[in-house]
Amino acid sequence: MLGRKDYTRKELDDAKAAIDRQLAAYTLLAKAGAADGKVGTALDTFEPQFFNHLTLALDRYFVHRIRAVSGKDANPLNEVELICESLTGNDGVLVASTVLKMNPDQTVLKLQPGDRINITADQFARLSSAFFDDLERKFVS
């Protein structure tokens, strides 16, 4: 597929709805398991695995976005791209980019190159919200 310089409102809304359903399902599961220590311990192990992979899913909806629109700065679109690259190609350890100008202080998660990626529910909620806001501003007309 060729690179994309824009997305439809429907594409954005459908992706948001799918991600929101996943967040709601996790929240329900976490609340149900909060009273049970064994379930809580299992959720602590499951949470970063789930949200690391949900970040991959988030990126996939808009994977063909072009750099000319998304830019090269430390924005949420590029942060997600770099996280996904690190999850799939660097064993979950954040890599430094030679293309993107990523200042960790300007990112949502503040991850440094070399950090192990273990995204929590709260971090994912902030990251996906910032990602959708940036995508809407730059790619949806």
Per residue in 105-135, pLDDT (tens digit) is 999 999 999 999 999 999 999 999 999 999 9
- In the structure encoding, which two tokens stand for residue 127, read together? 């990251």
How far apart, in whole angstroms, are the C-alpha atoms of residue 7 and residue 139? 6
Selection from 30-39, 98-107, 112-121 with the highest mean pLDDT:
112-121
Please report whether residue 82 resides in a domain. yes
Grade residue 6 by pLDDT with cuts at 50, 70 and 90: very high
- CB within 8 A of 10, min separation 6: which ones? none
In this prediction the pTM is 0.94
* 3 state DSSP class of 116: strand
Domain count along the chain? 1
Please report whether residue 36 resides in a domain. yes
Please report whether residue 4 resides in a domain. no
Residue with tokens 């940036």: 134
Per residue in 42-55, pLDDT (tens digit) is 898 999 999 999 99
Residue 132 burial (10 A CB sphere; 0-12, 13-18, 19+): buried
Domain that holds residue 85: 9-139
Please report whether residue 40 resides in a domain. yes
Lowest-pLDDT range of 7-11, 33-37, 86-90, 97-101: 33-37
